[in-house]
Amino acid sequence: MNNSAQGNYTVHNYTTKLDHFSPWNNRTFKLKYYNNSLYFKNDTGPIFLYICGESACNPPKNSSSPVQLAIKLKAKLMALEHRYYGDSQPFNNSEGGWSIENMKYLTSKQAIEDIHGFIKSLRKTYGQDR
């Protein structure tokens, strides 16, 4: 779903599991991501994933290396926000927000699974050859 636009980027949300390792916890939340398809050549262009890291996500600037490479290779550029940062919050204040109990889901293993799931959804959307 397209929520808004920022420059050459549209802002979207990707639904991910709160706990990728528990078969009993089916809770999900939304990770924000940016999509820049301005330079994308749909039939042959690659898809680049820019991982924003442990901070609120801002898409790369036009002068940055990822954007310049996307222009050169006619690529789609996606920027994914890390769980618990920026708008990608799994808990609101009424649910305890950043309580110690809620922080148990802020791990590198959970974040890697978020990225893995996001890539799988991209491959499903744009084809297995990507």
Tokens of 118: 């996001």
Tokens of 88: 């990608």
Q: How far apart are CA 81 and CA 56, in angstroms?
A: 7
pLDDT tens for 4-35 read: 556 789 999 999 999 999 999 999 999 999 99
| Average pLDDT taken over every residue of the chain | 90
pTM of the entire predicted model:
0.89
* pLDDT for 2: 41
What the chain holds in terms of domains, given with CATH numbers, is 4-126 (3.40.50.1820)
Q: Which helix (H) or strand (E) holds 32?
A: strand 28-36
